[in-house]
Structure 1
Amino acid sequence: MAKLTNQIRETIANLAVARTFDPRKEALDKAEDALAREAYASIYPEAELKKVNALPDNWFRPDACLQFNVGGLTIRLNIIGKGLPVSYRAKGEQTGGFYGCRTLGVIPHGDLCDRIQAHATAYEKYKGERAAALKACTVMLSRVTTTVKLAEAWPEGEQFFKKFHDEPKAALPMVRVDEVNSLLGLAAA
């Protein structure tokens, strides 16, 4: 029987939520990558991209976080892996630095605009559902104090907490007080 600490509870909750929501997140990330590449290609003409790709690497910086104005909304789309080439910021631009996410272009309307906005809505829905599931799992776990009680209350979740469930260990033999006293040369009281 292991006592459930807050750290163990958090680990169990994260494992349980990840099992359900990670595959969905991976699918959303792949879709986002495809949309980001399509949006990037719609902003920069193919002839311009060929010229950019012919230049040395240090002329442009790879950016994996692409930001667009999509139908009036500022939406960031992430690339999986190496980013796409974007120009460095000019000194004095909004943040005054050379790096950071900035709007690359405008996608005012059309099919791509609708698909990006639908993806952004789906991603926000995913985040809300994941947060609600994590909170519900955390609340449930906060009401249980040991893995034995947890196994009784939530047998379906054993795969998430079995590594914390200690098997009963053999008790050490009881040391007799008179033996200890005699070893230490103490008189019995």
Structure 2
Amino acid sequence: MAFPTRLQQLLDEGRGKIASAVRFEFGTGTYGFFSGKGSIDYAGLTYHGNTLISIDEPPYALGTAAQPLTMRLPAKADFGLTPDKLLLIEQEEYKGRPVTLYDFYIDPDTNAFLHAEPTWYGYADVIDHREESGDMWLEATLETGAIDNFREGYRFASHEDQQLVSPGDMFFEHAARLRNEYFNYKFEAK
């Protein structure tokens, strides 16, 4: 992994400043937030500072199983997040929409944005409204991209499907013919 020179210098000195960031690609628009103050522009999107969002540590694991992740946003009138504002999430097209988590590297001396490193990718699954002892919050369940491994009819090992992913890639060009020849041989041999 190659970092910008200034960031590498700060990391070597042990002074790197890291903020967590999240990018929501909902049907009504793309939204970005990071754990800090002010705003940061990255990849054509303005990420707004928000110290209220809490995100569980992503479950980094090997295998094909989808690993859910939980994110919370409490209602805090001091920040303009009243319960009725949290209800506005119902107007968003969020189900199955992409969510990306990043580490934002920031210069501790100048607060300049230096680099973004994606750390997790998945989809918004369910966003529930929770209330307990007078406190209200949104609780989102996010699924990893591994959920695609279990969708019925989602992907096939075929030449046609591979062209959708990588036009010109000939890896699966003979997959259907070889499969048929194998099964014909197995059944004719018996």
Aligning the two structures, in what range does the TM-score lie when normalised by the shorter sequence? under 0.3
Higher-Rg structure is: 1
Q: Which has the higher helix share?
A: 1
Which structure carries more strand by proportion? 2
**TM-score, scaled to structure 2:** 0.24
Higher RCO structure (Cα 8 Å, ≥6 apart):
1
